[in-house]
Structure 1
Amino acid sequence: MANIKDVTKESWILSTFPEWGTWLNEEIEREEVKPGTFAMWWLGCTGIWLKSEGNTNILCDLWCGSGKRTHGDGKMRMGHQMQHMSGCLNVQPNLRAQPFVIDPFEIKNVDALVVTHIHSDHLDINTAAAVNNNCPEAKFIGPQEVVNTWLEWGVPEEKTIVVHPGDTVKVKDIEVEALEAFDRTALVTAKDGEVLKGKMPQDMDEIAVNYLFKTTGGNVYHAGDSHYSNMFAKHGNEHQVDVCLGAFGENPRGITDKITSVDILRMAESLNAEVVIPVHYDIWTNFQADPKEITELWNMKKDRLQYKFKPYIWQVGGKYVYPTDKDKMEFNFYRGFDDVFAIDNDIPFPSFL
C-alpha cells in the first residue's frame, strides 16, 4: 500500500506527466491507415502527427514545453517579439492551457520531424531529443534558422534538411513541399538587444515556411503561424489542398498574432480547400478563442458566398481521417461502454438504477 512518506515532488511529476501517459502513443502506433486515406492527430498548439497508408509517420511542430511559470518581476523580456510589435512593458500572461497528450520520450517510428518556424512553441528541444534518440533514421526538416537551432542543440548535420519555398522532400510515400510563410510575428523576432527600427526586415524564407503534405489519400496544408495573406489564393491555384490548418486565436488589444474567425474562412476559400481546421487557440490562456465562432460565421455566409469547404472543430488528442471524416463538422472522443450488459451487472435488485 502507498504511503505518503514516499511521495515527493519528483514522484508526483513522474507519476502524473504527461497526463495521458502513452495512451496516444499506443493509439497512433496501432492505427492501420486504410488505402486512399490519411490519418492525423492533433497534439496541441499546431502540432500534428500525420500517418499515411504506407505507414509513413511525420511529426510536425510538436511542442512539449510550458509557458509562464512565475510572475517574476512582472515585466516583459526586453526585445521579445510582442514587445517589438506593441511597445508593451508588462509580462505577457501566456500560461499553457493544454495538457500533454503524448509522451515524447515514448515516440517511435517517426520518419521525419518537420518544423514550420523558429518560435519555441513549435521548435522544441524535447521533441528533437526524443526523435533523435528513438528514431535514428528520422530526418529533421525545416527552414535554415530552424536547422541552425537543431545543429546548436546537437542534432547531427547529416540528419537535417534545409528547405525554402518551392523545395520538396520525399519521405517514403509522403511528399513534403515547402511554401511561402506569412508569419509577420516571426519577422519581428530578434536577438536580445537587437533594434529593428530603420532596418530591412529579415528574409521570411530563412525563418519560416508553410508546408503541403502530399499523401496517397489527400493533401494537408499546414500554415504554421502564418497570418492571412492574399498569397493563400496563389497557393490554392497552384496546388491541390484538401485539408488546411490555420493558427486561430483571439488577439489581445494592440496585438496581431493569430488568424481570426473571418480570416480562417478567407484562408480556406483562397486555398480552395475542402476542410479547414483551426488550431493553436487551445494552448495560450491569453489567446484562447471559441472555434464555434468559425462555424457560426460559416453558417451565416456559406449560402451567399457559395462556400465549397466545411470547418471542422477538432479536440487535442483527437484523430481525423481524410476523406472519411470530410463531411463531419465536430470531433468527439469515443465515449466507451459499447459492451454494456455483456455480462450480468451486479446491483442489489434490477430496479436499483
Structure 2
Amino acid sequence: MTNVSDITRESWILSTFPQWGTWLNEEIEEAQVSPGTFAMWWLGNTGIWVKSEGDANILIDLWAGSGKRTQKTADMVARHQMARMSGVRKLQPNLRLSPFVIDPFAIRTVDAVLATHTHTDHIDANVAAAVLQNCEPTVPFVGPKSATDLWQKWGVPADRCITVRPGDVVPVKDTEIHVVESFDRTMLITQPEDVETKGRPVADMDDLAVNWIIKTPGGSLYHGGDSHYSNMYAKHGNEHDIDVAMGAFGENPRGITDKLTAADMLRMAEGLQTKVVIPFHHDIWSNFMANPEEIVTLWEMKRHALKYVFQPYIWQVGGKFVFPENKDDLRYHYPRGFSDVFSCEHELPYDAFL
C-alpha cells in the first residue's frame, strides 16, 4: 500500500517513465512475422523498429531524449541547431510532444543499430549505452562517418562501428540494408565545427547523412531520415523496388525550411514509385507540429488526375504496421481490446448494467 510520505520526485519519475513501460518491448520481442511480410513499429520521431520473417531486428534513429525543459536556459545562441539553420538568436520552443513508447534499457535482442545522421533527435547516447550493456557484444552500430565518429566519442568500440556511404550494402540475417544518398540540407549548415571539410566550404554530404532502404524477403522500407525534397528520389525509385516510404513531414515555422510539406510527401512518393507513403517526424516537436490529414486531402484531390499508384498511411506513435497486410488501411488506430468481449467468460450477466 502506498504511503504519500514515501513518495518523492525520483520515485514518481521511476514509476511513470517511460510512459509505456516495457509494453512495446514485449510486443516486439513476441511478434512472429509471417512469410512474405515484414513488420515495423513507430517509436517516435524517425525512430523505427523493423522485423523480418527471418527475425532480423533493425533499430533506426531511436531517440530517448527531450527537447527544451526550461525557459531559463541560455541555449539560444547559434550553437543550437534550430537556431543555426535560420541564423536567429532566440530560444526555440521545441518541446517534445510524443511519449516514450519503448524502454531502451529493456531491449534485449537487436541485430543492428542505425542512425541516419547526428542531429540530436536521431542518435542517442542512452540507446548506445543500453545496447552495449544488454545486447549481444556483436551488434553493429551502422551510420555515416559523422555518426560512427560520435558513437566512438561516446565510448562505443571502434570495431562495433560500421561506417557506410551511398552504394554500400550491409547484410543482417535475411535482410539487406542498402545505403543511399541523403537530401538533408540542414545537416550542411548545422555540421559540428570540428567536421573535416577536406578544403571544401562544407563537408562531404555522404559523410554527414544517409538514407536507408531496408530490403526484407517480405518487402522493402525506404527511410528518408530528415531529407528534404529532391529530384534524386526518382533515381532511388529507378534503382530500387520500394514498397513503403517514410519522409520527415512537418509545418515549417517562418524562416525555416526543415521538413517536407504535404505536397512534397506526394512528390517523394511518386518519385520513389512506392506503394505506401508514411509521414513521420511531425509528432515530435511542438513548433513543427503538423496535421498529416493534409496529405490525405491532397492525395484525394490529385490521385485520379495524376494516376497515383500509391496511397498515404497515417500512423500513430507506438503503432505496428505490417506490409502488405496494412498497405490499404489508410489510417492506423490503436487496438481497442474489446473485439472479443462477448466471446469470453463473464463474471457478470450481460444485463448487469441495464
Q: Distance in 1 between matches of 2:291 and 2:203?
A: 33
What is the one-letter code of the residue matched to 1:346? Answer: L
Aligned to 2:171: 170
Q: CA deviation at 1:193?
A: 10
Q: After the TM superposition, which residues 49-68 of structure 1 pair with which residues of structure 2 at under 5 Å, given as runs?
A: 49-68=49-68
Identity %: 60
- 2:250–2:261 contact (8 Å) kept in structure 1: yes
Q: Distance in 1 between matches of 2:98 and 2:194?
A: 31
How many residues align? The count is 350
Matched, 1:71 2:71: yes
Q: 3-state DSSP class of the match of 2:162?
A: strand
What is the one-letter code of the residue matched to 2:68? Answer: K
Q: Which runs of 5+ in 1 are unaligned?
A: none
Q: Structure 1 70/36 Cα, relative in aligned 2: closer, same or farther at 3 Å?
A: same
Deviations along 1:178-235, one digit per CA (max 9) or x if unpaired, are 10000011111133699x9x97122110010001101000111100000000000011
Aligned to 1:160: 161
Q: Distance in 2 between matches of 1:32 and 1:24?
A: 14
Which of structure 1's runs of 4+ aligned residues deviate more than 6 A? none
Aligned to 1:289: 290
Q: 3-state DSSP class of the match of 1:304?
A: coil
Q: Structure 1 324/344 Cα, relative in aligned 2: closer, same or farther at 3 Å?
A: closer
Deviations along 1:295-317, one digit per CA (max 9) or x if unpaired, are 00000000000000000000000
Deviations along 1:1-40, one digit per CA (max 9) or x if unpaired, are 2100110111011100000011000000010000010000
- 1:21–1:101 contact (8 Å) kept in structure 2: yes
- 2:78–2:88 contact (8 Å) kept in structure 1: no
Q: Distance in 1 between matches of 2:251 and 2:266?
A: 15
Q: Structure 1 143/199 Cα, relative in aligned 2: closer, same or farther at 3 Å?
A: closer
Moved more, 131-140 or 204-213: 131-140
Matched, 1:243 2:244: yes
Aligned to 1:124: 124
Q: Distance in 2 between matches of 1:186 and 1:155?
A: 23
Q: Distance in 2 between matches of 1:344 and 1:14?
A: 35
Aligned to 1:346: 348
Aligned to 1:84: 84
Q: CA deviation at 1:133?
A: 1.5
Aligned to 1:266: 267
Aligned to 2:319: 318
Moved more, 82-91 or 97-106: 82-91
Q: Structure 1 213/6 Cα, relative in aligned 2: closer, same or farther at 3 Å?
A: same
What is the one-letter code of the residue matched to 2:81? Answer: Q
Moved more, 183-192 or 53-62: 183-192
Q: Which runs of 5+ in 2 are unaligned?
A: none
Q: Distance in 1 between matches of 2:46 and 2:323?
A: 18
Q: Structure 1 193/114 Cα, relative in aligned 2: closer, same or farther at 3 Å?
A: closer
Q: After the TM superposition, which residues 110-121 of structure 1 pair with which residues of structure 2 at under 5 Å, given as runs?
A: 110-121=110-121
Q: 3-state DSSP class of the match of 2:341?
A: coil
Q: 3-state DSSP class of the match of 2:279?
A: strand
Q: CA deviation at 1:79?
A: 2.9
Q: CA deviation at 1:83?
A: 2.8
Aligned to 2:30: 30
Output the aligned Cα RMSD: 1.8
Q: CA deviation at 1:95?
A: 0.3
Q: Distance in 1 between matches of 2:28 and 2:120?
A: 25
Q: CA deviation at 1:89?
A: 1.5
TM-score (structure 2 length as normaliser):
0.95
- 1:20–1:101 contact (8 Å) kept in structure 2: yes
Q: CA deviation at 1:351?
A: 6.7
Aligned to 2:3: 3
Q: Distance in 1 between matches of 2:194 and 2:71?
A: 22
What is the one-letter code of the residue matched to 1:124? Answer: D
